[in-house]
């Protein structure tokens, strides 16, 4: 437990999520409590369908819980509109997805610039984006489109995009899920290096215990309930 942190950057208290399925109400999360301090790395382990990605989406404000409270960067997400939640994320929250989620119409450079522009980044977005891509070793592929890059390269662009605005929190959803082991290892190394460099808090969702072991705290989600791993 990290007790010296002034206030958690992400916190969930009694979070419940249920959806209406063909067989009636289905509970995905059954009262989750989680607090993440600044610069802390937290892993959430779980089998597929356990609700870990749902939890990640709720913590990031991509969706709202059916009950309980989620706070992100000291803001109660429940009282914010969809747009206000997006505005809260802009530049202060980064994402790395299993399927990269780069915009196919934009070049590597433009994909990274987009984050900086959305955060109202002062100064030269182009220069900032170039620097971020150079940091992930893609300085020579600035004008390539996602479809022209390998999976590992695409994930590196995604990492550059995630860190370009120096966010306070980074959410990562199975970041190595679509990559071979060696490339995955390089990506994780890069992710943790940048996290340390910028003092970013990390919430990592994975089913890989090895990957989870690199985080300071580990939880396992089973049948909608979060417990220590």
Partner 1 sequence: MNQALRYSWISLGREWRAGELRILALALVIAVAAVTSVSFFTDRVQRAMSLQATELLGADLSITSSQPIPGEFGREAQERGLDTARYVSFPTVVVSDEDSELAELKAVSDRWPLRGTARVSTTLFGEEQETQSVPDSGEAWVEARLLQLLNLSVGDSLDVGEISLNITRVLTYEPDRGGDLFQLAPRLLLNVEDLEATGLIVPGSRVNHRFLVAGDEAVINRYRDWIEPRLGDNQRLESVADAQPALRNAIARGEQFLSLAALVAVLLAGGAVAVAARHYSDRQSDTSAVMRCLGASRRFVLQVFTLRLLWLALLASAIGLLLGFGAQGVLAWLLSGWFATELPLPSLWPIFTGMGVGLITALGFGLPALLRIGQVPPLRVLRRDLGAPPPAMWLVLGLAMLTLGVLLLWQAGDVRLAGFVLGGAAITVAVLWVAALLMVKALTPLRSRGGVALRFGLANLSRRGALSAVQLSAFGLGIMALLLLALVRVDLLSEWEGSLPEGAPNHFMINVQPDQVEPLQALFERHDMERPVYYPMIRGRLSTMNDAPVRPEDYTNPRAERLVTREFNLSFARDLQPGNRVVAGQWWNVQDPEPGFSVEEGLAETLGIELGDILEFRIAGEPVQAPVTNLRSVEWDSFNVNFFVLSSPGVLEDFPATYITSFHMDEAGQRMLTEAVRQFPSVTVLDVRALMQQVRDIIDRASLAVEYVFLFTLAAGVTVLFAAIHATRDLRRRESAILRTLGASRKQVLAGLLAEFMVMGALAGLLASAGASAVGMVLAREIFDLPYSVNPILWLMGVGGGALGVGLAGWLGARSVLRQPPLLTLRQVG
Q: Which residues here bind partner 1, judged by CB under 8 A?
A: 53-54, 57, 60, 62-64, 82-83, 86-93, 95, 97, 99, 101-106, 110, 114-115, 117-119, 126, 145, 147, 161
Q: CB of 62: closest distance to partner 1 in angstroms? A: 4
In the complex with partner 1, which residue's Cβ is closer, 54 or 176?
54
The span from the CA of 56 to the CA of 200, in Å, is 16
- How wide is the angle at C-alpha 190 spanned by C-alphas 185 and 194, nearest 5°? 150
Identity of the residue, 89 or 217, whose beta carbon is nearer to partner 1 in the bound complex: 89
In sign, the C-alpha dihedral spanning 204, 95, 157, 136 is: negative
Nearest distance, CB of residue 158 and partner 1, angstroms:
10
Nearer residue to partner 1 within complex by CB, 12 or 60: 60
Of 64 and 229, nearer to partner 1 (C-beta) is: 64
Tokens of residue 131, six digits: 């620097």
Q: Is 48 in a helix, a strand, or coil?
A: coil
Cβ 32 to partner 1 shortest distance, Å: 16
Minimum distance from CB of 78 to partner 1 (Å)?
A: 14
- Least distance from partner 1 to the Cβ atom of residue 105, Å: 4
Q: How far is the CB of 141 from partner 1 (least distance, A)?
A: 16
Nearer to partner 1, 7 or 84 (CB): 84
Tokens (6 digits) for 75: 């803001």
Distance CA 192, CA 202 (A): 9
Nearest to 205 by CA among 86, 55, 33, 90: 55
Place of tokens 């994975």: 206
Cβ atoms of 60 and 93 closer than 8 Å: yes
DSSP, res 36: E
* Closer residue to partner 1 (CB): 43 or 58: 58
Q: Are strands 24-36 and 93-97 parallel, antiparallel or unpaired?
A: unpaired
């Amino acid at each position: 437990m990290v007790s010296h942190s002034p206030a958690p950057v992400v916190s969930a208290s009694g979070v419940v999520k249920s959806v209406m399925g063909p067989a009636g109400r289905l509970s995905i999360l059954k009262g989750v409590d989680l607090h993440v301090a600044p610069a802390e790395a937290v892993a959430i382990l779980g089998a597929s369908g356990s609700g870990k990605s749902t939890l990640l989406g709720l913590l990031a404000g991509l969706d709202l819980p059916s009950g309980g409270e989620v706070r992100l960067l000291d803001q109660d997400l429940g009282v914010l509109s969809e747009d206000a939640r997006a505005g809260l994320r802009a530049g202060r929250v980064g994402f790395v997805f299993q399927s990269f989620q780069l915009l196919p119409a934009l070049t590597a450079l433009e994909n990274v610039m987009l984050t900086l522009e959305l955060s109202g980044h002062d100064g030269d977005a182009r220069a900032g984006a170039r620097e971020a891509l150079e940091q992930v070793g893609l300085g020579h592929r600035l004008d390539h489109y996602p479809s022209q890059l390998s999976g590992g390269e695409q994930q590196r662009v995604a990492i550059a995009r995630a860190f370009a605005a120096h966010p306070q929190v980074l959410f990562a959803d199975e970041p190595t899920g679509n990559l071979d082991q060696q490339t995955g290892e390089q990506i994780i190394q890069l992710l943790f290096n940048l996290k340390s460099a910028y003092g970013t808090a990390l919430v990592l969702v994975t089913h890989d215990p090895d990957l989870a072991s690199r985080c300071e705290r580990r939880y396992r989600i089973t049948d909608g309930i979060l417990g220590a791993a």
